[in-house]
A and B are shown apart, each in its own frame.
Chain A
């Protein structure tokens, strides 16, 4: 079955100690832990501030995410190395 036809995997988010946003939003973010850090299917790197954004569901092209650390809205697009975030100036 193609990725698009398959139901999205859901994720329970936990607090990873990201202290730059109010407590109730901390679970949506984590820091990038160096070059060996692999992003999970529900995670995206913010191109503006380099924070990892987390979602409760597996990400797909066209999704929208918010980076609260830098006040930015992102659109998920397919890039050469996987999913990437493009800033939406809305």
Chain B
């Protein structure tokens, strides 16, 4: 894209758009923070001494995250078919790889914490609210409803995960923190892709807003209940929860859903 000495911010929008939706850009981006971190963290980090209760809470939280990442993986992969153009399809291919990696590093973290059968543990502990969100998301994806499915996945789900992972990373043990920070870096792209694609669509077709508002109304209770359950397990004080809720809502507010 830009040559030596060219100001990035002076690029024409179409050049920027084309480049940031490419595999080349994705590879150059993830190389910086994934190289030398098998399973999302440096190998020399020491496992902390957890009490049994602390370990149990962390395992439950990670099981919630695993279900969230499983639906994000299924959703991103499923959306490629209905994406309206090549850059969006290519971007979703990179997002699918990101989501697969997230699931893998989180399952690996469960194994590091001594969970013998992570798949069974995820099934047993995962939040029922998230399971309901997954059913609805996949119904939208399978129906080929591009705007509604993208809104559910890349705005509602990603914004909630972004806020929770940020909060958790602040208080997490060093290994979990490093795993979460790597995931957050990927999620910046996913959030921005969803918001920008939907923002462009809403500008062209304002009538879409009412349909997306209905999707939000249907999915919000599930995502917020799951959000609240996870924050309780993390011991997040009530005052801080309000702030996290605002972070989650800011993205949907920018799109005009107050």
Task: State the CA gap A19–B251 with chains docked (Å).
Answer: 24
Residues facing B in A2-48 (CB within 8 A) are 19-26, 28, 47-48
A71 and B8: CB pair below 8 A? no
Interface size on A, residues (CB 8 A): 29
B28 and A19: CB pair below 8 A? no
Q: Take A25-B8, A55-B9, A87-B254 as given contacts and tell me if A20 and B29 are in contact as well, using a CB distance cutoff of 8 Å.
A: yes
Task: State the CA gap A63–B8 with chains docked (Å).
Answer: 13
Residue-wise interface mask of A (54-90) relative to B, using a CB-CB cutoff of 8 A (1 in contact, 0 not): 0110000001111111111100000000000001011
Nearest-neighbor residue (CB-CB) of A49 within chain B: B188
Task: State the CA gap A65–B13 with chains docked (Å).
Answer: 10
Nearest-neighbor residue (CB-CB) of A59 within chain B: B9
Task: State the CA gap A73–B250 with chains docked (Å).
Answer: 17
A52: interface (CB < 8 Å): no
A22 and B196: CB pair below 8 A? no
Q: Specify which chain B residues have a CB less than 8 angstroms from the CB of A20 in the assembled complex.
A: 29, 32-33, 185, 188
A19 and B33: CB pair below 8 A? yes
- Say whether chain A's binding surface is mostly helix, strand, loop, or mixed: loop
Q: Take A28-B9, A73-B13 as given contacts and tell me if A67 and B192 are in contact as well, using a CB distance cutoff of 8 Å.
A: yes
Q: Specify which chain A residues have a CB less than 8 angstroms from the CB of B188 in the assembled complex.
A: 20, 48-49, 51, 69-70
A87 and B9: CB pair below 8 A? no
B191 and A47: CB pair below 8 A? no
Q: Specify which chain A residues have a CB less than 8 angstroms from the CB of B100 in the assembled complex.
A: none
B193: interface (CB < 8 Å): yes
A22 and B20: CB pair below 8 A? no
B16 and A49: CB pair below 8 A? no
B8 and A49: CB pair below 8 A? no
Q: Specify which chain A residues have a CB less than 8 angstroms from the CB of B32 in the assembled complex.
A: 19-23, 26
Top 7 nearest A-B pairs by Cβ distance?
A70-B192, A22-B28, A89-B199, A19-B32, A49-B188, A71-B192, A71-B20
